[in-house]
Chains A and B, each alone.
Chain A
């Protein structure tokens, strides 16, 4: 009975693995098809689509654009998120639960509604659609994730360490810079990679707050709307490789943190 169960469950697991990997593998493979039409079977193969991506000015500029947006929005998210986490963790004050609720709100609002709300607010603030608006919306959207990661890390910092620093004559600012911040460093790094990823992958906010220049996902979407082609497969594969590498890197960080935290 148990053995039968076990075999059945392991079949389900491997079927699930196939479900999550096969579509991506097929997409990468299709980029090698020597034809303009998407579809199986693939009779002849070519590297042209992939080599074409690196010569395509449109793709390269979208890629740089996405990257700059990701880096700048991450910087803002991490600074603000760290600040909020330090305020909220281990401190009791009136309205703390409410502030925490508002802090995680952007992460819970469904994508389209968040994009629309940002679009309206950007106009209210006088931010024109374009790079600034996208950076701002990504930064706000990613803050909750930074706060959650850093609060988890902060909760494992023994109070005695900062107290010892204070006893030895450090003022609160120096105690923060020399004790708390170094302790948080790996978590900040993990959260940063996670933010880079969220920003680089984001479609809906970039789409509604963008100007004429597309980010990489918006470019792929625009091309898809005018028809499928192996060229898109090659572009999408580039995006896939970047995000997968970033993701594996982020995982390594969180795994190391988990080990340290016990």
Chain B
């Protein structure tokens, strides 16, 4: 668009323009530029090296570096290293994890919660995505989808606070239930795994809905019609046509939501209680104090990353084998 516009202005001008008169022509003939460009583009190989140098250095030092440094710190006996002290390699911080239920309980709780919340998000958003992709006209579809996106631009903290107001003892839900006459005394929703679940599902729903929506939208309607012609009922059509063909969307949505759910820190702190401590809080505890507990924290973060990775990779494998036609 911009390119065409610039071409037009160049050739539409009244004055005859030679290469020297335009900015680009002058740049191309400017001696320092010519020397530099000549050096940089002398051979395809050199061009590639110059193009690839910065990205390679950046991703290796900035994307991979933090993870590797975390791994390294988790394997040292003390960090930061005191002067004149020999740093040594150790597994003790990893052993600590298994020795105290205070440590491994939150870990398994986090993974269980993340799994349950992911499933809830799937159940909640699948019909919504299905409705948008199947029952809404092309014209309204985009608008109805974009409307749902607006709340999801709002940050984690603000939306968590909104849930606190919704579920508090004097919150909207309790007020409504009281007004309808279902309860006399407010139900203590807050600081339980329920409030945490409502909050986390609220924060992650979009990441599930978008992959589901795009999978459902790609699925031709004729597949369902063919199944109906062959005598399949609504449930059979869903189970044997729609569900297997959207399994890719389900897999990527679940993976994304699971990874995000395990990483929440502020939401469990604000919405959860003492009995719902998640592993993120355990890890963060090691970093509130200066320095000396860092290797343990790093080891725990590594354990959590590997745990979450293991689960998502296994899950993807299962979904892949399902997709390859094991559905009955």
Contact = CB atoms under 8 A, between A and B. Distances in A.
Interface centre among B55, B67, B149 (most CB of A within 10 A): B55
B289 to A, nearest CB: 13
Contact of A171 (B28, B124, B144, B294): B28
Contact of B163 (A12, A23, A93, A117): A23
B116 interface: no
Interface stretch (B94-102, B239-247, B296-304): B296-304
A167 interface: no
Interface residues of B, number: 89
A120 B132 contact: no
Nearest to A219: B157
Contacts of A60: none
Interface string B46-70: 0110011011101110111111011
Interface in B155-211: 155-159, 161-166, 168-172, 175, 202, 205
B163 to A, nearest CB: 6
Nearest to A248: B150
Given A26-B165, A172-B41, A244-B154, A116 B171 contact: no
B153 A243 contact: yes
Contacts of B284: 112, 116, 208
A52 interface: no
Contacts of A171: 28, 37, 41
Contact of B3 (A103, A183, A200, A224): A183
A243 B154 contact: yes
Contact of B60 (A5, A102, A115, A170): A102
A83 interface: yes
B11 interface: no
A113 B175 CA distance: 38
A47 interface: no
Contacts, number: 266
A67 interface: no
Contacts of B234: 1-2, 5
A27 B165 contact: yes
Interface string B279-291: 0100110010000
Interface in B289-328: 294, 297-298, 301, 304-305, 308
A113 B304 contact: yes
Contacts of A21: 151
Given A5-B234, A204-B266, A240-B158, A247 B149 contact: yes
Contacts of A32: none
Contacts of B146: 251, 255
What band does the interface of chain A fall in when counting residues whose beta carbon is under 8 Å from B? 35 or more
Interface string A218-252: 00110011001000110010011001101110110
B172 A40 contact: yes
Contacts of A236: 157-158, 161-162
Interface string B256-267: 000110111110
B265 A17 contact: no
Interface string B130-155: 11100100000010101111111111
B47 A172 contact: yes
A260 B166 contact: no
Given A93-B48, A171-B37, A102 B63 contact: yes
B69 to A, nearest CB: 5
B32 to A, nearest CB: 13
B179 to A, nearest CB: 9
A247 B155 CA distance: 11
A55 interface: no
Contact of B6 (A6, A119, A173, A178): A178
A174 B27 contact: yes
21 contacts: A16-B128, A20-B148, A26-B172, A40-B171, A106-B63, A112-B265, A112-B284, A116-B283, A116-B298, A117-B301, A120-B69, A123-B80, A143-B62, A170-B28, A171-B37, A186-B1, A224-B161, A239-B154, A246-B153, A247-B154, A255-B142
